[in-house]
Amino acid sequence: MNKITFQIGDFLFSWDARKSRANYKKHGVMFDEAATCWLDEYAKETYDEEHSQNEIRWLMIGRSDLDRLLICWYAERRIGQQQVIRLIGARLATLKEKEMYYGNT
């Protein structure tokens, strides 16, 4: 695995470089852009019950540094004393998700 570790502010991220490239081909979003959503003070998180059978997963909706509203799915891991966010996927938000983010629902 070609593992990438990336830190933004207090957040430490980890992902597979091949998975990031595959995500870009499928959804047009690289994981380094997706990670910037954690800096969005209005970002919203929710538990991803549908995909949490083997590990606890979360969904984040937030605005990236490229000013795009993204949905990111991830799991959290602890490595020693450090909490690490393992990005699994990211895509552009749908209209319904945009309404949720902006509070129109």
Going edge to edge, which strands form the sheet with 11-16? Answer: 3-8, 11-16, 82-92, 69-79, 57-63, 44-47
Which residue from 46, 39, 97 is spatially nearest to 73, judged by alpha carbons?
A: 46
Return the pLDDT at 4.
78
Return the pLDDT at 27.
98
Return the pLDDT at 89.
96
Return the pLDDT at 49.
76
User: pTM, whole model, 2 decimals?
Assistant: 0.88
Return the pLDDT at 104.
64
Which residue from 86, 93, 94 is spatially nearest to 31, judged by alpha carbons?
A: 86
The mean pLDDT values, 10 residues at a time, for the chain of 105 residues are: 79 92 97 96 88 86 98 90 92 96 78
